[in-house]
Amino acid sequence: MLKTLSGNARSFLVNLNIKTHKIPFKSTMEQAIRFTDFPGLPIFRRGKVRDVYDLGETLLIVATDRISAFDVIMEDPIPGKGKILTELSLFWFELTKHIIPNHVISSNPADYPEICKPFADQLEGRSMLVKKTSPLPIECVIRGYLAGSGWKEYISSGIVCGIELPNGLHQSEQLNSPIFTPATKAEEGHDENITLEQAMALCGDRALEAKQYSLELYSFAHEYALKRGIILADTKFEFGVDENGTLILIDEALTPDSSRYWLKDSYALGQVQENFDKQVLRDYLETLDWNKQAPAPHLPEHIIDAITSKYQQALTILKQHQALS
Protein backbone atom coordinates (compact mmCIF):
# COMPACT_ATOMS: atom_id res chain seq x y z
CA MET A 1 0.00 0.00 0.00
CA LEU A 2 2.72 2.48 0.93
CA LYS A 3 4.55 2.16 -2.36
CA THR A 4 1.57 3.63 -4.23
CA LEU A 5 1.96 6.92 -2.34
CA SER A 6 4.34 9.82 -2.73
CA GLY A 7 7.53 9.97 -0.68
CA ASN A 8 6.02 12.63 1.57
CA ALA A 9 2.92 10.54 2.18
CA ARG A 10 4.96 7.39 2.90
CA SER A 11 7.08 9.28 5.42
CA PHE A 12 3.99 10.81 7.00
CA LEU A 13 2.32 7.44 7.43
CA VAL A 14 5.42 5.74 8.81
CA ASN A 15 5.91 8.47 11.41
CA LEU A 16 2.23 8.42 12.27
CA ASN A 17 2.26 4.64 12.62
CA ILE A 18 4.96 4.79 15.29
CA LYS A 19 2.93 7.18 17.41
CA THR A 20 -0.53 5.74 17.08
CA HIS A 21 0.40 2.11 17.76
CA LYS A 22 0.99 3.17 21.36
CA ILE A 23 -2.68 4.11 21.65
CA PRO A 24 -5.45 1.50 21.73
CA PHE A 25 -8.33 1.96 19.36
CA LYS A 26 -11.20 -0.18 18.07
CA SER A 27 -12.11 1.28 14.69
CA THR A 28 -12.23 -2.12 13.01
CA MET A 29 -14.65 -3.51 15.63
CA GLU A 30 -17.59 -1.37 14.54
CA GLN A 31 -19.28 -1.00 11.20
CA ALA A 32 -19.14 2.55 9.91
CA ILE A 33 -22.31 4.47 9.01
CA ARG A 34 -21.72 6.91 6.18
CA PHE A 35 -25.36 7.51 5.25
CA THR A 36 -28.70 7.03 6.99
CA ASP A 37 -32.12 6.43 5.48
CA PHE A 38 -35.04 5.76 7.80
CA PRO A 39 -38.25 4.99 5.87
CA GLY A 40 -41.09 7.15 7.10
CA LEU A 41 -38.83 9.82 8.59
CA PRO A 42 -38.73 12.90 6.33
CA ILE A 43 -35.22 14.16 5.76
CA PHE A 44 -34.75 17.82 6.66
CA ARG A 45 -31.19 18.20 5.44
CA ARG A 46 -27.90 16.36 5.16
CA GLY A 47 -24.82 18.19 6.39
CA LYS A 48 -21.19 17.25 6.07
CA VAL A 49 -21.53 14.92 9.06
CA ARG A 50 -25.12 14.95 10.33
CA ASP A 51 -28.36 13.75 8.80
CA VAL A 52 -31.30 15.74 10.17
CA TYR A 53 -34.88 14.46 10.12
CA ASP A 54 -38.03 16.58 10.52
CA LEU A 55 -40.38 15.16 13.17
CA GLY A 56 -42.83 18.04 13.09
CA GLU A 57 -42.31 20.02 16.28
CA THR A 58 -38.81 18.65 16.76
CA LEU A 59 -35.75 17.56 14.78
CA LEU A 60 -33.82 14.31 14.98
CA ILE A 61 -30.08 14.81 14.49
CA VAL A 62 -28.08 11.71 13.57
CA ALA A 63 -24.28 11.93 13.60
CA THR A 64 -22.90 9.67 10.87
CA ASP A 65 -19.28 8.57 10.58
CA ARG A 66 -18.60 10.92 7.65
CA ILE A 67 -15.62 13.21 7.91
CA SER A 68 -14.72 16.25 5.84
CA ALA A 69 -11.59 18.26 5.22
CA PHE A 70 -11.21 21.45 3.19
CA ASP A 71 -15.04 21.39 3.02
CA VAL A 72 -15.03 18.13 1.05
CA ILE A 73 -16.62 14.97 2.45
CA MET A 74 -14.21 12.05 2.38
CA GLU A 75 -15.18 8.86 0.59
CA ASP A 76 -14.19 6.75 3.60
CA PRO A 77 -16.04 7.09 6.92
CA ILE A 78 -14.40 6.83 10.35
CA PRO A 79 -16.01 3.94 12.29
CA GLY A 80 -17.58 5.09 15.55
CA LYS A 81 -16.85 8.76 14.95
CA GLY A 82 -20.50 9.78 15.07
CA LYS A 83 -20.93 8.22 18.49
CA ILE A 84 -17.86 10.01 19.83
CA LEU A 85 -19.09 13.35 18.49
CA THR A 86 -22.53 12.81 19.99
CA GLU A 87 -21.18 11.81 23.41
CA LEU A 88 -18.81 14.75 23.53
CA SER A 89 -21.46 17.24 22.36
CA LEU A 90 -23.90 16.00 25.01
CA PHE A 91 -21.15 16.28 27.60
CA TRP A 92 -20.43 19.92 26.72
CA PHE A 93 -24.12 20.83 26.32
CA GLU A 94 -24.70 19.64 29.90
CA LEU A 95 -21.56 21.31 31.21
CA THR A 96 -22.34 24.71 29.68
CA LYS A 97 -26.08 25.00 30.25
CA HIS A 98 -25.40 27.46 33.09
CA ILE A 99 -24.03 29.82 30.44
CA ILE A 100 -26.68 29.38 27.75
CA PRO A 101 -29.57 26.95 27.19
CA ASN A 102 -29.24 24.47 24.32
CA HIS A 103 -31.51 22.59 21.95
CA VAL A 104 -31.21 19.08 23.40
CA ILE A 105 -34.44 17.38 24.46
CA SER A 106 -33.16 13.80 24.78
CA SER A 107 -30.52 11.43 23.44
CA ASN A 108 -32.40 8.30 24.56
CA PRO A 109 -34.23 6.64 21.63
CA ALA A 110 -36.83 5.39 24.13
CA ASP A 111 -37.94 9.03 24.51
CA TYR A 112 -38.24 9.65 20.77
CA PRO A 113 -41.58 9.73 18.93
CA GLU A 114 -43.11 6.36 18.08
CA ILE A 115 -42.16 6.70 14.42
CA CYS A 116 -38.47 6.45 15.43
CA LYS A 117 -38.81 3.23 17.45
CA PRO A 118 -38.05 0.78 14.58
CA PHE A 119 -34.64 2.43 14.19
CA ALA A 120 -33.68 2.54 17.88
CA ASP A 121 -30.64 0.30 17.48
CA GLN A 122 -29.17 2.49 14.74
CA LEU A 123 -29.98 5.68 16.63
CA GLU A 124 -28.50 4.53 19.94
CA GLY A 125 -25.45 6.59 20.87
CA ARG A 126 -25.36 8.76 17.75
CA SER A 127 -28.58 10.78 17.80
CA MET A 128 -30.31 13.64 19.61
CA LEU A 129 -33.91 14.80 19.65
CA VAL A 130 -33.72 18.60 19.62
CA LYS A 131 -35.84 21.72 19.57
CA LYS A 132 -36.53 23.48 16.32
CA THR A 133 -35.05 26.95 16.07
CA SER A 134 -34.41 29.68 13.56
CA PRO A 135 -30.63 29.31 13.14
CA LEU A 136 -28.42 32.35 12.78
CA PRO A 137 -26.86 32.28 9.29
CA ILE A 138 -23.32 32.47 10.68
CA GLU A 139 -20.78 30.24 12.39
CA CYS A 140 -19.34 31.83 15.51
CA VAL A 141 -15.62 31.08 15.53
CA ILE A 142 -13.50 31.90 18.57
CA ARG A 143 -9.72 31.89 18.20
CA GLY A 144 -7.60 31.86 21.33
CA TYR A 145 -4.38 30.95 19.51
CA LEU A 146 -2.90 31.79 16.12
CA ALA A 147 -3.32 28.70 13.95
CA GLY A 148 -4.81 27.37 10.74
CA SER A 149 -6.30 29.89 8.33
CA GLY A 150 -5.91 32.59 10.98
CA TRP A 151 -2.14 32.09 11.00
CA LYS A 152 -1.98 32.13 7.20
CA GLU A 153 -3.94 35.37 7.05
CA TYR A 154 -1.84 36.94 9.80
CA ILE A 155 1.53 36.27 8.15
CA SER A 156 0.29 37.79 4.90
CA SER A 157 -1.42 40.87 6.32
CA GLY A 158 -1.17 41.09 10.11
CA ILE A 159 -4.95 40.91 10.20
CA VAL A 160 -7.32 38.04 11.02
CA CYS A 161 -10.89 38.42 9.77
CA GLY A 162 -10.70 42.21 9.92
CA ILE A 163 -9.02 42.27 13.36
CA GLU A 164 -5.55 43.80 13.44
CA LEU A 165 -3.16 41.88 15.67
CA PRO A 166 0.23 42.93 17.14
CA ASN A 167 3.36 42.46 15.05
CA GLY A 168 5.77 39.64 15.74
CA LEU A 169 3.37 36.89 16.80
CA HIS A 170 4.40 33.29 16.24
CA GLN A 171 2.52 30.30 14.88
CA SER A 172 0.40 28.71 17.64
CA GLU A 173 0.91 31.67 19.98
CA GLN A 174 -1.81 32.43 22.49
CA LEU A 175 -3.51 35.74 21.80
CA ASN A 176 -3.79 38.40 24.50
CA SER A 177 -7.51 37.69 24.53
CA PRO A 178 -9.68 35.41 22.37
CA ILE A 179 -11.11 36.96 19.21
CA PHE A 180 -14.49 36.48 17.55
CA THR A 181 -14.12 35.72 13.84
CA PRO A 182 -17.48 34.75 12.34
CA ALA A 183 -17.98 32.91 9.07
CA THR A 184 -20.81 32.35 6.67
CA LYS A 185 -22.48 28.95 6.52
CA ALA A 186 -21.99 27.25 3.18
CA GLU A 187 -24.33 24.38 2.26
CA GLU A 188 -21.85 23.54 -0.46
CA GLY A 189 -18.27 24.64 -0.98
CA HIS A 190 -16.19 26.68 1.42
CA ASP A 191 -17.32 28.70 4.42
CA GLU A 192 -16.16 32.30 4.16
CA ASN A 193 -14.68 34.37 6.98
CA ILE A 194 -16.50 37.65 7.54
CA THR A 195 -16.16 40.65 9.85
CA LEU A 196 -18.36 41.42 12.84
CA GLU A 197 -19.94 44.21 10.82
CA GLN A 198 -20.86 41.77 8.06
CA ALA A 199 -22.26 39.37 10.66
CA MET A 200 -24.42 42.17 12.05
CA ALA A 201 -25.68 42.90 8.55
CA LEU A 202 -26.88 39.28 8.42
CA CYS A 203 -28.13 38.89 12.00
CA GLY A 204 -28.58 42.34 13.47
CA ASP A 205 -27.89 42.67 17.20
CA ARG A 206 -28.15 38.88 17.53
CA ALA A 207 -24.59 38.81 16.22
CA LEU A 208 -23.42 40.77 19.27
CA GLU A 209 -25.35 38.44 21.55
CA ALA A 210 -23.82 35.41 19.84
CA LYS A 211 -20.37 36.95 20.14
CA GLN A 212 -20.74 37.42 23.89
CA TYR A 213 -22.01 33.88 24.44
CA SER A 214 -19.27 32.47 22.21
CA LEU A 215 -16.54 34.19 24.21
CA GLU A 216 -18.04 33.01 27.50
CA LEU A 217 -18.34 29.44 26.24
CA TYR A 218 -14.80 29.41 24.91
CA SER A 219 -13.31 30.83 28.11
CA PHE A 220 -15.13 28.26 30.23
CA ALA A 221 -14.18 25.33 27.99
CA HIS A 222 -10.57 26.52 27.60
CA GLU A 223 -10.10 26.65 31.37
CA TYR A 224 -11.80 23.28 31.84
CA ALA A 225 -9.69 21.56 29.16
CA LEU A 226 -6.42 23.18 30.28
CA LYS A 227 -6.77 21.65 33.75
CA ARG A 228 -6.93 18.26 32.05
CA GLY A 229 -3.84 18.73 29.90
CA ILE A 230 -5.52 19.88 26.69
CA ILE A 231 -5.40 23.29 25.04
CA LEU A 232 -8.57 24.41 23.27
CA ALA A 233 -6.96 26.54 20.57
CA ASP A 234 -10.12 27.53 18.72
CA THR A 235 -13.67 26.35 18.16
CA LYS A 236 -16.93 27.29 16.51
CA PHE A 237 -20.47 27.54 17.82
CA GLU A 238 -23.85 27.78 16.17
CA PHE A 239 -26.91 29.46 17.65
CA GLY A 240 -30.62 29.54 16.94
CA VAL A 241 -33.62 31.49 18.19
CA ASP A 242 -36.27 29.30 19.84
CA GLU A 243 -40.06 29.75 19.88
CA ASN A 244 -39.76 32.11 22.86
CA GLY A 245 -37.32 34.39 21.08
CA THR A 246 -34.38 33.15 23.16
CA LEU A 247 -30.96 32.58 21.64
CA ILE A 248 -29.80 29.01 22.38
CA LEU A 249 -26.81 26.83 21.51
CA ILE A 250 -27.50 24.35 18.68
CA ASP A 251 -25.81 21.84 16.36
CA GLU A 252 -22.68 20.43 18.08
CA ALA A 253 -20.51 21.67 20.91
CA LEU A 254 -16.73 21.65 21.24
CA THR A 255 -16.07 18.43 19.33
CA PRO A 256 -12.83 17.53 17.53
CA ASP A 257 -14.70 18.28 14.29
CA SER A 258 -15.40 21.86 15.31
CA SER A 259 -12.36 22.59 17.48
CA ARG A 260 -8.58 22.45 17.66
CA TYR A 261 -7.42 20.50 20.68
CA TRP A 262 -3.69 20.42 21.45
CA LEU A 263 -1.64 18.46 23.95
CA LYS A 264 -0.52 20.91 26.63
CA ASP A 265 2.67 19.04 27.59
CA SER A 266 4.13 19.27 24.09
CA TYR A 267 2.96 22.81 23.31
CA ALA A 268 5.66 25.04 21.80
CA LEU A 269 5.62 28.26 19.81
CA GLY A 270 6.39 28.39 16.12
CA GLN A 271 5.26 24.92 15.12
CA VAL A 272 2.30 22.66 14.45
CA GLN A 273 1.07 21.13 17.71
CA GLU A 274 0.36 17.57 18.83
CA ASN A 275 -3.41 17.52 18.39
CA PHE A 276 -6.60 15.64 19.20
CA ASP A 277 -8.67 16.68 16.21
CA LYS A 278 -8.83 16.05 12.47
CA GLN A 279 -5.60 17.91 11.74
CA VAL A 280 -4.02 14.50 11.10
CA LEU A 281 -6.39 14.16 8.14
CA ARG A 282 -5.57 17.62 6.79
CA ASP A 283 -1.85 16.95 7.18
CA TYR A 284 -2.10 13.68 5.28
CA LEU A 285 -4.13 15.23 2.46
CA GLU A 286 -1.54 17.98 2.08
CA THR A 287 1.00 15.30 1.12
CA LEU A 288 -1.11 14.22 -1.86
CA ASP A 289 -1.50 15.63 -5.33
CA TRP A 290 -5.14 16.56 -4.76
CA ASN A 291 -6.89 19.80 -5.72
CA LYS A 292 -9.14 19.86 -2.60
CA GLN A 293 -12.23 19.34 -4.74
CA ALA A 294 -14.65 16.41 -4.77
CA PRO A 295 -14.23 13.53 -5.18
CA ALA A 296 -11.88 13.08 -2.25
CA PRO A 297 -9.10 10.49 -2.31
CA HIS A 298 -9.56 7.25 -0.41
CA LEU A 299 -7.93 7.13 3.02
CA PRO A 300 -5.40 4.47 4.07
CA GLU A 301 -6.24 2.39 7.11
CA HIS A 302 -3.39 4.11 9.00
CA ILE A 303 -5.16 7.45 8.74
CA ILE A 304 -8.60 6.08 9.59
CA ASP A 305 -7.23 4.40 12.71
CA ALA A 306 -5.24 7.48 13.71
CA ILE A 307 -8.30 9.73 13.48
CA THR A 308 -10.36 7.30 15.54
CA SER A 309 -7.64 7.12 18.15
CA LYS A 310 -7.27 10.89 18.44
CA TYR A 311 -11.03 11.48 18.73
CA GLN A 312 -11.32 8.79 21.38
CA GLN A 313 -8.41 10.31 23.32
CA ALA A 314 -10.07 13.72 23.38
CA LEU A 315 -13.29 12.19 24.70
CA THR A 316 -11.53 10.12 27.34
CA ILE A 317 -9.25 12.87 28.63
CA LEU A 318 -11.98 15.49 28.83
CA LYS A 319 -14.44 13.19 30.60
CA GLN A 320 -12.26 11.14 32.91
CA HIS A 321 -11.51 13.94 35.37
CA GLN A 322 -14.84 15.73 35.62
CA ALA A 323 -14.39 16.22 39.37
CA LEU A 324 -11.44 18.58 38.96
CA SER A 325 -12.28 22.08 40.17
Domain 134-277 fold? D-amino Acid Aminotransferase; Chain A, domain 1 (3.30.470)
Q: Does the domain formed by 24-131 have CATH 3.40.50.10540?
A: no
In sequence order, the 6+-apart residues with CB closer than 8 A to the CB of 99 are 213, 216, 217, 220
Instruction: Provide block-wise average pLDDT over 10 residues at a time, the chain (325 residues).
Output: 38 38 42 95 96 98 96 95 98 98 98 97 98 98 96 95 95 98 76 91 98 98 96 98 98 96 96 91 95 96 95 92 57
Nearest to 53 by CA among 109, 91, 7: 109
**Other beta carbons less than 10 A from residue 279's beta carbon:** 21
pLDDT in tens, 274-317: 999 898 999 999 999 999 999 999 999 999 999 999 999 999 99
Q: What does each C-alpha distance from 15 to 18, 128, 247, 297, 302 come to in angstroms?
A: 5, 37, 45, 20, 11
pLDDT in tens, 28-62: 446 899 999 999 999 999 999 999 999 999 999 99
For 254: left if phi > 0, alpha if psi spans -120 to 50, otherwise beta; the answer is left
Q: Domains of the chain: which residue ranges?
A: 24-131, 134-277
CA gap 178, 312 in Å, rounded: 27
Q: What are phi and psi of 137, to 5 degrees?
A: -80, 30
Q: What is the pTM of this model?
A: 0.89
**Spatial contact of 149 and 182, defined as CB atoms under 8 Å apart:** no
